[in-house]
Structures are given as structure tokens and as C-alpha cells.
Amino acid sequence: VVEMPEPTPATPDPPGVRRRSGPRPGNTRSRRQILEAAKLAFAANGYAGTSMRGVAREAGVDPSLIVHFFQTKAGLFSAVVEWPYDGTRVAADIEHVEIDALGAYSATTFFGNWEADEQRDPMISMIQAALADPAAAALLREYITVNFALPLVTRAGTDQPLLRAGLIAAQLMGMGLARYALAFDALRNAPTEQLIAVLGESIQRSCTGPIPPA
Amino acid sequence: VVEMPEPTPATPDPPGVRRRSGPRPGNTRSRRQILEAAKLAFAANGYAGTSMRGVAREAGVDPSLIVHFFQTKAGLFSAVVEWPYDGTRVAADIEHVEIDALGAYSATTFFGNWEADEQRDPMISMIQAALADPAAAALLREYITVNFALPLVTRAGTDQPLLRAGLIAAQLMGMGLARYALAFDALRNAPTEQLIAVLGESIQRSCTGPIPPA
């Protein structure tokens, strides 16, 4: 890969004009090149095996530009592996779900997302990254907690909300990995409707049932 | 690392004597060298980033010797990352646990194993490997099912045993990763006794409670 120079802006600034500090066209192109190189690198080498320096080399840009755009490897990764659905929309929806339907709602949403290949694969990659890197783990924790688990528990209005949110996150992650990544036969072969019923009951208990005291 | 020749057996076989086909002393040493090199390689490069050829090079042996001893990368990995407790002992214990104490028994055993660093780290490595390689996933599925989840459900004597075993495996893996690897604050900070109570109730339901029909 040849190191490519940043293109010169088409028209030079007139004297005395201070340009807005928005992205230059060359930056936009570099950012896209970095994301494309990073996507290939993460797919080929995994999260731990990918370096920002290697991505810069493949993208034909200076490593400092990656830091400029994405700050860290975790930041680069989260830009590449965008969580495949709009979490803020889910959190907004939850405010309108009946409290005794929170489990059914979340199980239905969960399996809807995990059944689709193009949504499942990035989620599995994100979990793999989180297991390899504390910064990626922090991203994933925040994502699940803020956009899904805590809104459910807040809507339920029960005690120990953060513990309940953690228990919900553990159940969702466990089911996702066991059915779709490790592929336990009985889970893989069970009809989705049956698993929605099982997981829904369990999450409903985590939202509104009693939790043993600390 | 220098390629080392196999040492010659100390005493040649007398004429007419057919040696037993057990391991030669050189083989034992080679096997140990392979395991040491593999342990370092898996730790440094992860499961996906480790090749049998690279391990052979580091160990100073021919790659065919790794195939001879361990068959596959998954086989090599499972020899390196021995599951850190004796699963067959747990399965034997379960036969003597009261049916309504199966949840409490399994949650107590689970947290006992995961609380110890030297047991937790290999389990997380094993899960990472399973997410990267179908052969390692098959090993992990079989290990959890045969040594833990299915004995619990068999002891309970309830319907849909394989589905119940899968649900138990999902819960255990989810809790292990959420508390110890992703480190959700509320789970990390909760007293182990509280989590034993929560997980124990949940696993007891998976053992003896009703499961929605398929």
C-alpha cells in the first residue's frame, strides 16, 4: 500500500477569510479509508490482533490521523462495528411498554435482533472484543446498560435497579452466545417463540420479582 | 529456537524383542515442550492467532508430532487449558444432592470455581476460544453439558432435559462473563452470597419448574 498524500483543497482560502474548522474533504476520504481498512483488519485478525499502526499502514494514512478521528482502538472498533440497531429508539419505546409486559417485550426485541445475521455477527464481534480489551468491555457495558437493561428496570420502578440491570444483561448475553455462537443443539433447535416465552418470564422476574437482599 | 533431534533411547532393544508401543522418553519430553510452547503462544496471540506450525517451531519439534499427540488445534488447546476442576467429580456429587437443592448446589459450585483467579482465567480463555473456533465451541458445549448441566437436569427428572441443560449453560456462562470478564459494576460489587441466592433460584426453576412447550 502506497502512502497517499492528503489532496489539496480545490480552492485556496481568500486572504483574510478564516475557514470553519469542519472536516476538509481529504479528511472525510481518509476517515472512510481508515474505517474500511479497520473493518478488514478486525475481521481478519480479531480485536486483539489488530493494531492502529497496522490499520494506518493499510489505509495509507499517518497513525496520528486515526488517533485524531477515533482516539483509541476501542473507539475505532465501535465506529467499525456500529451496534446494529438504534439503541436510543429501544430505550424510548420501553417507556410505553406495560410493566407486566417488560419481559415479553425485551425477549421479543432481543431475538428479533439476534435472528438476523447482519445484526448478530457484529454483536458477537463486540462481545469478543470486550473479552479481549477492558476499553471495549466498558463500551459494551455502557451500551447494554444505558440503552436496554436500565430503561427496563427504571420502567419497572423496583429496588436495586443496577443489580437487576446487570442480571438482565447477563441473561441476554448468555442466551445470545449459547444459542448463536456456541450453538448448544437444544437451544439452536428450539422454536424462537418457545425461547421468547422462557427468556421473557425470566427477564420479567428480574424486572419486577423479588431479589434476595444483599 | 534450534530444531532439536529426538534423543536416541538409552539402550537399544535386544534382537527379537518387540517393544511395547508406549511413549518413548523422547516423546514425553517433546509433548511437554509442545505444551509449554502452546501455553505461551495461546497467552500471547489468543486462540485464533496461534497456529500449530508456529507452536511446533517454538517447541523445536516437527508439526506432525503435534498432530500425533493432540490431533487438532482444539485438542492442543484443551490439553493446555485444562478445565480447572474435575468435572466428573461434580457430576458424581450431583447424584446425591436433594432435588430441591439443585439450584443452590450448582450456584454455590459455580461461584466457588469462578471466584478463584487460577480457575476463572482458563474458563474465560476457553470461552474466548469457543467464540473463535467451532471445534473449541464443540469442546466447551460437551464439557458443560456432560459434566454439569445435564447431570443436574437428569437428577431433577423433568421433561425437555436437553433444552433445560442449554438454558442452565446459558445462565452460567452469562453470569460468569458479565460479573468477571465484562465486570458490570453492580454484579462485580454484589456479595457472592446474594448472587448465589439469585442464580440458585433461577437454576432451580430451570431444573424443576415448568418450561413453556415448544
Contact across the interface for B198 and A212, Cβ inside 8 Å: yes
Contact across the interface for A184 and B131, Cβ inside 8 Å: no
Residue of B162, B172, B212 with shortest CB distance to A194:
B212
Q: Quick one: pLDDT at residue A120?
A: 86
Q: Quick one: pLDDT at residue A13?
A: 45
Higher-confidence position of B151 and B1? B151
Residues of B in Cβ contact (< 8 Å) with A167: 187, 198
Percent of chain B with pLDDT over 70: 82
Q: Quick one: pLDDT at residue A9?
A: 41
Of A143-147, B88-92, B188-192, which range is least confident?
Answer: B88-92
Q: Quick one: pLDDT at residue A69?
A: 92
> Is residue A181 less than 8 Å (CB to CB) from chain B?
yes
Residue type, B96: H
What single string gives the DSSP state of each residue in chain B? -PPPPPPPPSSPPPTTPPPPSS--HHHHHHHHHHHHHHHHHHHHHTTTT--HHHHHHHHTS-HHHHHHHHSSHHHHHHHHS--SS-HHHHHHHHTTS-GGGHHHHHHHHHHHHHHSHHHHHHHHHHHHHHHH-HHHHHHHHHHHIIIIIHHHHHHHT-SSHHHHHHHHHHHHHHHHIIIIIS--HHHHHS-HHHHHHHHHHHHHHHHHS-----
> Is residue B170 less than 8 Å (CB to CB) from chain A?
yes
Q: Quick one: pLDDT at residue A86?
A: 59
**pLDDT score of B184 more than 80:** yes
> Is residue A50 less than 8 Å (CB to CB) from chain B?
no
Residue of B127, B132, B162 with shortest CB distance to A186:
B162
Residues of A in Cβ contact (< 8 Å) with B212: 194, 197-198, 201
Give residues with Cβ within 8 angstroms of A16, minimum separation 6: none
> Is residue A76 less than 8 Å (CB to CB) from chain B?
no
pLDDT along chain A (214 residues), means of 10: 41 47 67 90 75 95 93 80 64 92 96 87 85 83 86 96 97 97 96 97 98 87
Residues of A in Cβ contact (< 8 Å) with B50: none
> Is residue A44 less than 8 Å (CB to CB) from chain B?
no
Mean local confidence (pLDDT), B5-18: 45
Tens digits of residue pLDDT in B133-147: 887 888 788 878 888
Q: Quick one: pLDDT at residue A103?
A: 97
- What's the pTM? 0.74
Give yes or no for a contact between A41 and A54, defined as CB atoms under 8 angstroms apart: yes
pLDDT band at B41 (very low <50, low <70, confident <90, very high): confident
Q: Quick one: pLDDT at residue A181?
A: 94
CA–CA distance, B214 with A195 (Å, rounded to integer) = 9
Q: Quick one: pLDDT at residue A12?
A: 47
Q: Quick one: pLDDT at residue A3?
A: 42
Residues of A in Cβ contact (< 8 Å) with B137: 181-183
Work out the minimum CA distance from B57 to partner chain A, whole angstroms: 20
Q: Quick one: pLDDT at residue B14?
A: 46
> Is residue B163 less than 8 Å (CB to CB) from chain A?
yes
Work out the minimum CA distance from B199 to partner chain A, whole angstroms: 9
CA–CA distance, B34 with B57 (Å, rounded to integer) = 9
Which residue from B179, B177, B208 is spatially nearest to B104, judged by alpha carbons? B208
Q: Quick one: pLDDT at residue A71?
A: 86
pLDDT band at B4 (very low <50, low <70, confident <90, very high): very low
Work out the minimum CA distance from A174 to partner chain B, whole angstroms: 4
Q: Name the DSSP letter for residue A52.
A: H
Mean local confidence (pLDDT), B11-36: 65
